[in-house]
């Protein structure tokens, strides 16, 4: 067993808000990765694997697009995603 001291900040990325801290935000507080286009939208976290995502007039959303599913929720309700996952067929989990 060996122990080594690490000199780095720890961040348990256990929430969408914590993940958003790892992306640089634009002037309106939108952040994420992928092809994202925003008009009059603020505080959104968008992660897109393939498709372009357009935001118009929305606030504080989490949008996650993957190959087989898309999630859209308010940041306030993001911790309730597990409730949605329970409703999904096993092929989408």
Find where tokens 């504080």 sit. 60
pTM over 0.75: yes
Beta bridge pairs of residue 47: 33, 64
pLDDT tens-digit map of 14-72: 677 878 888 999 999 999 999 999 999 999 999 999 999 999 999 999 999 998 889 99
pLDDT tens-digit map of 9-25: 666 666 778 788 889 99
- Do the beta carbons of residue 75 and residue 61 sit within 8 Å? yes
Look at residues 80, 79, 62 and name the one whose alpha carbon lies nearest to residue 71: 62
Look at strands 70-74 and 53-56 and give their pairing: unpaired
């Amino acid at each position: 067993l060996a122990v080594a001291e690490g000199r780095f900040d720890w961040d348990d990325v256990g929430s969408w808000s914590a993940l958003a801290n790892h992306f640089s935000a634009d002037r309106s507080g939108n952040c994420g990765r992928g092809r994202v286009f925003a008009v009059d939208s603020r505080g959104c976290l968008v992660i897109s694997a393939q498709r372009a995502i357009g935001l118009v007039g929305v606030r504080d959303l989490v949008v996650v697009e993957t190959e087989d599913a898309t999630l859209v929720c308010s940041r306030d309700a993001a911790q309730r995603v597990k409730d949605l996952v329970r409703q999904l067929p096993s092929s989408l989990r």
